Amino acid sequence: MQQVRKLVSVADLSRAWWKRLYLQCCDIINYPDDYVGFCQGRILASMFFESSTRTNFSFQAAAQRLGAGVFGFSDPLGTSVSKGETLADTIRMTASYSDTIVIRSPQEGAATAAALYSEVPVINAGDGGHFHPTQTLTDLATIAQKRGNIENLRIGICGDLKHGRTVHSLVEAMGMFTGISFCLISPKELRLPEYVLRQITSHGQEYVESETLSECIPELDILYMTRVQRERFHDAAEYRRLKDVYVLTKKMLHGAKSDMLIMHPLPRYGEISTDVDDDPRAVYFEQARFGMFIRMSLLNDFLRLPRQKPPQVTEGLTKLQCNNPACITQSDFYLPKIVSHLGADRCGYCDKKFPILTF
């Protein structure tokens, strides 16, 4: 199997690679002392252009448990990017000092762009409202650990499905497994984007959309709660109107399956009542710990890879210009224009449809 050198979207994750990562993760969980020093002398660059606590800490803890060093920033105002340096130059510079780069950015497609210029592996720790593949590794590891397999599941996803990058990545990843169906619970304003819905149907999976949480709960094997993301809203009044539309309480769980898993990528802002925390079905804090172990597995793969010049982009080029204001191409104009794996009518960075040209 060809060695993968990036994880910028779930499209980079094959079933075979997932299986190998998970088996290694299980070994790390069972025999953590055996992995101490595995990456001694290696360095992880942590580039967080957007604030983070859990993901940032999880990667740092994972690297240090493997014996690797970590450097980086969590505030771009202290970097040369704030002075006008291009992302490409920042990546080239950072890659010269490190063995793997993990990047989080408010701009969609930033990790894809970073991988075009890095001589070391690149990991996407979240790019705007687009994707968050290592949270998906966390989610898959949690389900596999708690249920034994990831097959034949009815998955309810509730909250901000429009901006939820963890949701988008999870839906795409579930295409690797059989017997999966979805109940998508959100207000009309926060429904799952069309390109993500297309992924569900392209995998031959079924979904229903609902605005009511309580009526969906009895049929679910997994309930994946998400927060309404204030940082993605341009209208503060709309955020205030929608932020508390779903609140999961202990009383609402009376009709739920006894083995249903309640998951959340965290942080939460009231969408799960604290009276749910003691329910044995609530696994969101365990989920965070599994995230550290699966990231150890990923870093153990990436940190020890040799340096390699990134290949020049020669395929999938287009003359079309993306008009998504959140896309990395709106600020980094030098980037080659490419099409998405989802289709030639979509931007290769943010997956949004190109505007229709009229003459």
Considering the domain architecture, whether residues 248 and 144 belong to the same structural domain is answered as yes
Q: Is 339 a domain residue?
A: no
Quote the number of domains for the chain: 2
Q: What is the pLDDT of residue 195?
A: 85
Considering the domain architecture, whether residues 118 and 240 belong to the same structural domain is answered as no
Considering the domain architecture, whether residues 48 and 182 belong to the same structural domain is answered as no
Reply yes or no on whether the pLDDT at 233 is more than 50: no
Considering the domain architecture, whether residues 102 and 167 belong to the same structural domain is answered as no
Q: Is 341 a domain residue?
A: no
Considering the domain architecture, whether residues 103 and 160 belong to the same structural domain is answered as no
Give tens-digit pLDDT for 166-222. Answer: 999 999 999 999 999 999 999 888 889 888 999 999 999 999 999 899 989 999 999
Q: Is 239 a domain residue?
A: yes
Decide which of 272, 302, 332 is a domain's last residue.
302
Give tens-digit pLDDT for 325-349. Answer: 999 999 999 999 999 988 899 999 9
Q: Is 335 a domain residue?
A: no
CATH code at position 269: 3.40.50.1370
Considering the domain architecture, whether residues 140 and 228 belong to the same structural domain is answered as yes
Considering the domain architecture, whether residues 143 and 119 belong to the same structural domain is answered as no
Please indicate whether residue 238 or residue 301 has the higher confidence score (pLDDT): 301
Considering the domain architecture, whether residues 252 and 298 belong to the same structural domain is answered as no
Domain with 268 in it? 134-287
Q: What is the pLDDT of residue 33?
A: 95
Decide which of 258, 287, 316 is a domain's last residue.
287
Q: Is 345 a domain residue?
A: no
Looking from the CA of 338 toward its CB, the CA atoms found within 13 Å total: 19
Q: What is the pLDDT of residue 241?
A: 57
pLDDT classification of 163: cutoffs 50, 70, 90: confident
Considering the domain architecture, whether residues 188 and 139 belong to the same structural domain is answered as yes
Considering the domain architecture, whether residues 263 and 142 belong to the same structural domain is answered as yes
Decide which of 252, 268, 302 is a domain's last residue.
302
Considering the domain architecture, whether residues 36 and 120 belong to the same structural domain is answered as yes
| Whole-number Å distance between alpha carbons of 58 and 79 | 22
Angle between helices 15-30 and 284-302 (to 10 degrees): 110
Query: What string of H, E and C letters represents the secondary structure of the chain?
Result: CCCCCEECCHHHCCHHHHHHHHHHHHHHHHCHHHHCCCCCCCEEEEEECCCCCHHHHHHHHHHHHCCCEEEEECCHHHCHHHHCCCHHHHHHHHHHHCCEEEEEECCECHHHHHHCCCCCCEEEEEECCCCCHHHHHHHHHHHHHHHCCCCCCEEEEECCCCCCHHHHHHHHHHHHCCCCEEEEECCHHHCCCHHHHHHHHHCCCEEEEECCCCCCHHHCCEEEECCCCHHHCCCHHHHHHHCCCCCECHHHHCCCCCCCEEECCCCCCCCECHHHCCCCCECHHHHHHHHHHHHHHHHHHHCCCCCCCCCCCCCCECCCCCCCCCEHHHCCCCCCCEEECCEEEEECCCCCECCCCCC
Reply yes or no on whether the pLDDT at 142 is more than 70: yes
Considering the domain architecture, whether residues 95 and 154 belong to the same structural domain is answered as no
Q: Is 346 a domain residue?
A: no
Reply yes or no on whether the pLDDT at 236 is more than 80: no
pTM of the model: 0.92
Q: Is 308 a domain residue?
A: no
Q: Is 83 a domain residue?
A: yes
